Amino acid sequence: MSAASPQGPCYLFSSDTKTLKTTTTSQSSHFHKYKSVFPKCGLDQFRCELSSSFDNRWTVDCVTDNNPIHIILKPPSSMSMASSSTTLKQSKKVCLFYCAEMKALAERIASESDTIELRSITWRTFADGFPNLFISNAHGIRGQHVAFLASFSSPGVIFEQLSVIYALPKLFVSSFTLVLPFFPTGTSERMEEEGDVATAFTLARILSNVPISRGGPTSLVVFDIHALQERFYFGDNVLPCFESGVPLLKNRLQQLPDSDNISIAFPDDGAWKRFHKQLQHFPTIVCNKVREGDQRIVRLKEGDPKGRHVVIVDDLVQSGGTLIECQKMLAKHGAAKISAYVTHGIFPNRSWERFEHDTKGCPENGFNYFWITDSCPLTVKEVKNRQPFEVLSLASSIAATLHI
Amino acid sequence: MSIQAKKKQVLLFYCLESEDLARKIASQSELIHLQSINWRSFDDGFPNLFINNAHEIRGEHVAFLASFSSPGVIFEQLSVIFALPRLFVASFTLVLPFFPTGSFERMEEEGDVATAFTMARILSNIPISRGGPTSLVIYDIHALQERFYFGDHVLPCFETGIPLLKQRLHQLSDSDNIVVAFPDDGAWKRFHKQLDHFPMVVCAKVREGDQRIVRLKEGNPAGCHVVIVDDLVQSGGTLIECQKVLAAHGATKVSAYVTHAVFPNRSWGRFIHKNCENSERAFAYFWITDSCPRTVKAIANEAPFEVLSLAGSIADALQI
């Protein structure tokens, strides 16, 4: 139910317990005491009792008075969620397992919602290097919705996680969701000549073979998959659910003091195809790589960066070479400030080291901000307190998808 | 194994660590031709692979010699294994001499993760080719029930290294004084039928308080050259305990045979004669096959180890 209160309402309605979880707005520490009434049909008025959880971090805005379930959750500034409405019949309790390298993100996800509970796995190895795994309290997950947060940061860690992924659905769970924020190999998804081995196909095939559970096919949550066609690589036992980190970026951009001077740049047509629809209210710049003799040079194709704070947007970064070339080209064309956003900060071999911070208005020397998400946890560990990097967490977005 | 069937030409691809065995297999028969793959990696660690002459393998019988010596090498080989059958080959055979994880194939408690099931499931998902299901050749799989872990798109073909052992034993000067010993009932179940013309000894691990001790269960090793037979060896602890018990019961010589020399952390070192005093040279011979290429390379036929190659057996299996 929505409540119109002059201070800005902050109620989260949970339909099964019929209580409201309270948050304070960041501006005010008032608590409004009401008694709770649960109307059976959509009445326009209600009163509610606030429980006393002092969670200072959240702000919640009610959107409409008509649809009682339409409430926008706005997590704290660095952890914004997609500006989509969340249905609040989501009292679906979820048991969340996770691989070791994703522990930090798993904890953030669990803190987003009372209904998400962390579970543990014992990850050991036999002397021969093969995994020796044990799922704690396996009986306790029967009849529960279960999810696994995976991270395939290198080929070596795939087999142990796969063993858990193949085992969990068969433990009489009521549904199984695999959250794999970054789908690696995504760039090797084409056979340009016979003999090319498209490893994205291998990975999709392995994941398509997850056993079905009582809840039917496994939901597979992936953020900003590299090639949109990859959704068709998956078989029928898996329901791919493709999400994006761009809403986090949009939220972050709105908080910047120069948010009205932002232009979005795409380093190539591929990035434009992937993202322009989500960013269409910003002025757009498109780059491309043009062949000059033996070399390939980045050129401006459309748009004008002059005087603007240009944010280069792409799904992932590897060596960073493309971003740096775009940066130099945009600076030459008069950009006032340059930032970058990628969902997946792969940065092999510490290539993030080449990204300097610019504070003096010299965009050719560095970036104002470099946003990445926490899809690649090993990178996050390295860059999280290092300018110009800022990590936007996928936690709330993932928490929302777990309730689908 | 002699099958009087029509012989077929086979194009054999292989993973890097199995190159030596692949060459030996190809030298067994004019009909087997080695092919090559470019094995590279991208900076992010993921494989960048290219199958050479992919057009020429159309309509041919193709095989891949794999070795999953550690979890890290599985993904790159799997990418090739999933790709080859779809290149219009006439048939596809996967030769995986050693099936790892095989000893972790039971759920004793809810929560155990049977990684053998994961491995079998991954292999069962190999695309079928024009030749139908993929033939999957494995030597001395740890648990006989594991044949049922595989789905319908693969045809498991379970082979054994024991014939190589029998051949070798016949060459020994004391071949008429040999007794075969099994370290436990599992090994006896797996192998006794193939070795039933030898006298047999069976050991067992018995619980004494907190400890588990190897004891003689059946048979008499006194005065004989005893050969302990098992499918694989890890640390070697079990074999050493058996050897002590057999020697205590009067065995004049003790040797060992395992198909798969897993030997994690170089645990084969404790058997090498060079490293031991004369009195500690417990094993006269230690026969292994070349199913685990990394170990075989490291051991390099140092006494008492002798490598019995699976090449001939694999070359025959490729003709099935």
Coil, helix or strand at residue B162: helix
Which helix H or strand E contains B172, and what residues bound it?
none
Q: Is B152 on the interface with A (CB under 8 A)?
A: no
In this predicted structure, the answer to whether residue A56 has a pLDDT above a threshold of 50 is no
Pairwise CA distance, residues B224 & B226, whole Å = 6
**Beta strand pairing status for A389-392 and B32-34?**
unpaired
pLDDT band, very low/low/confident/very high, at B145 (cuts 50, 70, 90): confident
User: Distance (Å) from the C-alpha of residue A209 to the closest C-alpha of chain B?
Assistant: 7
Query: Is the Cα dihedral A101, A105, A109, A112 positive or negative?
Result: positive
pLDDT, greater one: A330 or A291:
A330
- What number is the ipTM of this complex? 0.88
Question: Six-digit token pair at A224?
Answer: 């900003």
List chain A residues with CB under 8 Å of B112.
133-135
CA B298 to chain centre: 16
List chain B residues with CB under 8 Å of A197.
47, 49-51, 79-80, 83
In this predicted structure, the answer to whether residue B108 has a pLDDT above a threshold of 80 is no
- The string of pLDDT tens digits covering residues A254-305 is 999 999 999 999 999 999 999 999 999 999 999 998 888 888 889 999 999 9
Which residue among A129, A194, A211 places its CB closest to the CB of B55? A194
In this predicted structure, the answer to whether residue B223 has a pLDDT above a threshold of 90 is yes
Q: Which residues contact A278 (CB under 8 A, 6 or more apart)?
A: A244, A246, A247, A250
Q: Which of residues 210-269 of B touch A (CB under 8 A)?
A: 234-235, 262, 264-265, 267
Query: Is the Cα dihedral B141, B144, B150, B156 positive or negative?
Result: positive
Q: Are A129 and B70 in contact (CB under 8 A)?
A: yes
Q: Is B56 on the interface with A (CB under 8 A)?
A: no
Q: Kindly state the average pLDDT of the residues B262-267.
A: 93
Question: What pLDDT was estimated at residue B151?
Answer: 87
Percent with pLDDT over 70 in chain A:
76
Per mean pLDDT, which range of A143-147, B73-77, B111-115 is the poorest? B111-115
Crossing angle for the helix pair A158-167 and B74-83, to the nearest 10 degrees: 70
Which residue among A133, A197, A209 places its CB closest to the CB of B113? A133
Question: What pLDDT was estimated at residue A12?
Answer: 41
In this predicted structure, the answer to whether residue A23 has a pLDDT above a threshold of 60 is no
List chain A residues with CB under 8 Å of B62.
none
pLDDT band, very low/low/confident/very high, at A229 (cuts 50, 70, 90): confident
- The string of pLDDT tens digits covering residues A337-384 is 999 999 999 999 999 999 999 988 899 999 999 999 999 999 999 998
Q: Kindly state the average pLDDT of the residues A193-209.
A: 91
Closest residue, chain A, to B112 (C-alpha):
A134
